[in-house]
Structures are given as structure tokens and as C-alpha cells.
């Protein structure tokens, strides 16, 4: 099923409001509703590392801990800005997880301006992520800050 972003945003909010396991339910929702979101995970910041929390996708990643500053994930965590990588092969920072991945988006989750985590999505489609994805996922991130401790 593919939802339009406005509907997805409303549904996401109601999923979060009714959830006792918010991070799990968020990755589940994103993975199920967007066909080009091939792998969806949430990392949380612990000391100077990103630590993988819940994820959905066909395979586990070996990158369960990523130093801040390393990879696309670490870059988004240091800058606090969303990273869209249309072609992972041409980005020297990319840490490879899956042979099928062609593009990636990483959206920081903030709490009072501090990065406390991030949403990481890999796509098997090249150039899969647009401004619409970043706007939508930044709204989802805003909903999540208070749920990361
Ligand atoms: N590709 C990421 C690593 C995490 S995996 O995509 C799940 C990066 O370059 O930071």
C-alpha cells in the first residue's frame, strides 16, 4: 500500500498516540506503507555512537553501532541535517550494508536541538528520495523526539 504524505502523516500521529512501543511501530508503519522504503531503521545516540534500535527489512545490518561522524548516518548526526544520497556508490562517506541499496535518506531526531537519534532508510531504487520524503520524515522525527530517552 502506498499512502499520500498528508494521510501518512495523520496516520503516523495516530499510530504514535496509540502506541506503547513507539519506535517499533514507527519503523513498521514506514516499511509497510512505502514500497520504495526497502530497509527502515532507527538509531539512537549513546555517548559518541549511534546504536541501532528497531528495524524492518529483508536483512540485518552489520552496522549496529556507528561512530558519530562516520558514514551517512554519522554525518547527519553531526550536522543535525537531513542527508539524501541519490546514488550511494558515488558518495565516499557511505557505509555499505546491503548489496541491493541504491539510495539512502537519513533524518535526525532532535530533542531541544540536540540530536538524540535518526531515521535511516535505504532504497533499492536509485534516486528514490525527494523533498517530499524529507519533509514527511522530518515531521515524523519531530513526533519522535520525546519518545527517545
Ligand atoms: N549506510 C549507512 C549505514 C547504515 S545502513 O544503511 C543500515 C551509512 O552510510 O551511514
Instruction: Confirm whether pTM is higher than 0.85.
Output: yes
105 touches 133 (CB < 8 A): yes
Phi, psi of 63 (to 5 degrees): -90, 70
Model pLDDT for residues 22-55, shown as the tens digit of each residue? 999 999 999 999 999 999 999 999 999 999 999 9
The percentage of the chain sitting over the pLDDT mark of 70, rounded to a whole number, equals: 99
pLDDT for residue 86? 98
Taking 70 as the threshold, does the pLDDT of residue 1 lie above it?
Answer: no
Ligand 1 pocket by Cβ (under 6 Å): 41, 61, 63, 66, 71-73, 94-95, 97, 104, 120, 122
Q: How far apart are CA 103 and CA 109, in angstroms?
A: 20
Q: Which atom in ligand 1 lies closest to the alpha carbon of residue 94?
A: 9
Q: Report in angstroms the alpha-carbon separations of 118 from 3, 6, 51, 53, 123.
A: 22, 21, 10, 10, 16
Domain count, the chain: 1
- State which residues form the domain around 143: 5-147
Judge whether 108 and 17 are in contact, CB under 8 Å: no
- Of ligand 1's atoms, which has the minimum distance to the CA of residue 39? 7
Q: Kindly tell me if the per-residue pLDDT of 64 is higher than 70.
A: yes
Q: Kindly report the CATH number assigned to the domain that includes residue 13.
A: 3.30.450.40
Of 79, 128, 132, nearest to 102 by C-alpha is 128
Report CA(54)–ligand 1 centroid distance (Å). Answer: 14
71-108 pLDDT per residue, tens: 999 999 999 999 999 999 999 999 999 999 999 999 99
Instruction: Determine contact, residues 95/70, Cβ cutoff 8 Å.
Output: yes
Amino acid at each position: 500500500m502506498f499512502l499520500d504524505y498528508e494521510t501518512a502523516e495523520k496516520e503516523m500521529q495516530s499510530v504514535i498516540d496509540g502506541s506503547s512501543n513507539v519506535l517499533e511501530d514507527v519503523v513498521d508503519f514506514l516499511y509497510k506503507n512505502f514500497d520504495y522504503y526497502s530497509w527502515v531503521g532507527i538509531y539512537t545516540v549513546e555517548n559518541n555512537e549511534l546504536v541501532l534500535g528497531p528495524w524492518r527489512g529483508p536483512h540485518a545490518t552489520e552496522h549496529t553501532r556507528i561512530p558519530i561522524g562516520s558514514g551517512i548516518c554519522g554525518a547527519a548526526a553531526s550536522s543535525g541535517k537531513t542527508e539524501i544520497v541519490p546514488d550511494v556508490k558515488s558518495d565516499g562517506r557511505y557505509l555499505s550494508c546491503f548489496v541491493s541499496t541504491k539510495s539512502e535518506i537519513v533524518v535526525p531526531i532532535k530533542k531541544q536541538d540536540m540530536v538524540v537519534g535518526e531515521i535511516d532508510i535505504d532504497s533499492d531504487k536509485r534516486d528514490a528520495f525527494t523533498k517530499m520524503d524529507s519533509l514527511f520524515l522530518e515531521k515524523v522525527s519531530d513526533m519522535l523526539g520525546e519518545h527517545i530517552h
